[in-house]
Amino acid sequence: MRAEQDAAYASQLSDYNRRNKDNEGRNNDLRRRYEELMNDEKYKADNCRLCPSCKRVVQRLEGCDSMICGQDAHGGNVQSGCGAKFNWAQAKQYAAAAKPQPKQIILDLPKPENPLVHHDGA
Protein backbone atom coordinates (compact mmCIF):
# COMPACT_ATOMS: atom_id res chain seq x y z
CA MET A 1 0.00 0.00 0.00
CA ARG A 2 2.74 2.47 0.96
CA ALA A 3 4.70 1.72 -2.20
CA GLU A 4 1.58 2.46 -4.27
CA GLN A 5 1.11 5.78 -2.48
CA ASP A 6 4.77 6.74 -3.04
CA ALA A 7 4.49 5.80 -6.72
CA ALA A 8 1.26 7.79 -7.09
CA TYR A 9 2.83 10.78 -5.31
CA ALA A 10 5.95 10.60 -7.47
CA SER A 11 3.78 10.44 -10.59
CA GLN A 12 1.69 13.42 -9.47
CA LEU A 13 4.82 15.38 -8.54
CA SER A 14 6.36 14.63 -11.93
CA ASP A 15 3.17 15.75 -13.68
CA TYR A 16 3.06 18.92 -11.56
CA ASN A 17 6.71 19.74 -12.34
CA ARG A 18 6.14 19.18 -16.07
CA ARG A 19 3.06 21.41 -16.10
CA ASN A 20 4.84 24.02 -13.99
CA LYS A 21 7.72 24.11 -16.49
CA ASP A 22 5.22 24.45 -19.36
CA ASN A 23 3.49 27.32 -17.52
CA GLU A 24 6.79 29.09 -16.86
CA GLY A 25 7.63 28.87 -20.57
CA ARG A 26 4.19 30.21 -21.49
CA ASN A 27 4.49 33.02 -18.93
CA ASN A 28 7.94 33.97 -20.23
CA ASP A 29 6.57 34.07 -23.78
CA LEU A 30 3.63 36.22 -22.68
CA ARG A 31 5.98 38.53 -20.77
CA ARG A 32 8.20 38.90 -23.87
CA ARG A 33 5.20 39.60 -26.11
CA TYR A 34 3.82 42.13 -23.61
CA GLU A 35 7.16 43.97 -23.48
CA GLU A 36 7.25 43.98 -27.29
CA LEU A 37 3.74 45.46 -27.36
CA MET A 38 4.73 48.14 -24.83
CA ASN A 39 7.83 49.03 -26.89
CA ASP A 40 5.74 49.24 -30.08
CA GLU A 41 3.17 51.44 -28.38
CA LYS A 42 5.88 53.75 -27.00
CA TYR A 43 7.48 54.02 -30.46
CA LYS A 44 4.14 54.91 -32.07
CA ALA A 45 3.35 57.44 -29.32
CA ASP A 46 6.75 59.09 -29.90
CA ASN A 47 6.77 58.97 -33.72
CA CYS A 48 3.24 58.70 -35.13
CA ARG A 49 0.13 60.79 -35.64
CA LEU A 50 -3.47 59.96 -36.53
CA CYS A 51 -5.08 60.75 -39.86
CA PRO A 52 -7.77 63.34 -39.02
CA SER A 53 -10.19 61.65 -41.42
CA CYS A 54 -9.95 57.90 -40.71
CA LYS A 55 -7.79 57.86 -37.51
CA ARG A 56 -5.25 55.53 -39.14
CA VAL A 57 -1.80 55.55 -37.49
CA VAL A 58 0.60 57.43 -39.78
CA GLN A 59 4.37 57.76 -39.49
CA ARG A 60 6.33 60.48 -41.24
CA LEU A 61 9.83 59.34 -42.12
CA GLU A 62 11.13 62.60 -43.61
CA GLY A 63 10.16 65.62 -45.65
CA CYS A 64 7.57 68.34 -45.30
CA ASP A 65 4.43 68.34 -43.16
CA SER A 66 2.03 67.78 -46.11
CA MET A 67 0.67 64.25 -45.81
CA ILE A 68 -1.68 61.97 -47.75
CA CYS A 69 -3.14 59.11 -45.73
CA GLY A 70 -1.93 55.80 -47.19
CA GLN A 71 0.71 57.19 -49.58
CA ASP A 72 4.23 58.46 -49.50
CA ALA A 73 5.12 61.98 -50.65
CA HIS A 74 5.07 61.11 -54.36
CA GLY A 75 2.17 58.67 -54.31
CA GLY A 76 4.32 55.70 -55.33
CA ASN A 77 4.12 53.70 -52.11
CA VAL A 78 0.36 53.15 -51.87
CA GLN A 79 -0.87 51.43 -48.70
CA SER A 80 -4.26 51.14 -47.07
CA GLY A 81 -5.53 54.57 -46.08
CA CYS A 82 -8.34 56.95 -46.91
CA GLY A 83 -6.30 59.28 -49.14
CA ALA A 84 -7.16 62.38 -47.08
CA LYS A 85 -4.67 65.24 -47.22
CA PHE A 86 -3.57 66.72 -43.91
CA ASN A 87 -0.78 68.60 -42.17
CA TRP A 88 1.51 66.50 -39.96
CA ALA A 89 2.07 69.27 -37.40
CA GLN A 90 -1.69 69.71 -36.93
CA ALA A 91 -2.57 66.00 -36.74
CA LYS A 92 -3.41 64.50 -33.37
CA GLN A 93 -0.53 62.68 -31.65
CA TYR A 94 -0.96 58.90 -31.35
CA ALA A 95 -1.86 57.86 -27.79
CA ALA A 96 -0.75 54.41 -26.71
CA ALA A 97 -3.70 52.01 -26.65
CA ALA A 98 -2.04 49.58 -24.24
CA LYS A 99 -1.22 50.92 -20.80
CA PRO A 100 1.53 49.49 -18.59
CA GLN A 101 0.22 47.13 -15.94
CA PRO A 102 1.74 46.57 -12.50
CA LYS A 103 4.34 43.83 -12.32
CA GLN A 104 3.16 40.61 -10.75
CA ILE A 105 6.15 40.22 -8.45
CA ILE A 106 4.66 37.27 -6.57
CA LEU A 107 4.83 35.18 -9.75
CA ASP A 108 8.57 35.73 -9.98
CA LEU A 109 9.42 34.62 -6.45
CA PRO A 110 11.61 31.52 -6.24
CA LYS A 111 9.65 28.41 -5.42
CA PRO A 112 10.79 26.38 -2.42
CA GLU A 113 12.19 22.94 -3.06
CA ASN A 114 9.87 20.19 -1.84
CA PRO A 115 11.90 16.99 -1.77
CA LEU A 116 10.21 13.62 -1.77
CA VAL A 117 9.78 12.66 1.90
CA HIS A 118 10.20 9.05 3.01
CA HIS A 119 8.72 8.08 6.37
CA ASP A 120 10.37 5.08 7.96
CA GLY A 121 7.98 2.75 9.72
CA ALA A 122 4.86 4.71 8.88
Q: Which tens digits make up the pLDDT trace of 91-105? A: 999 998 877 766 665
pLDDT the model gives residue 64: 86
Whether this model's pTM surpasses 0.75: no
**Please, what sign has the CA dihedral across residues 57, 63, 65, 70?**
negative
pLDDT digits (tens, 9 = 90+) for 49-106: 999 999 999 998 888 888 889 887 666 777 888 989 999 999 999 998 877 766 665 5
pLDDT at 102: 63
Q: How far is CA 29 from CA 24, 33, 34, 42, 47, in A?
A: 9, 6, 9, 20, 27
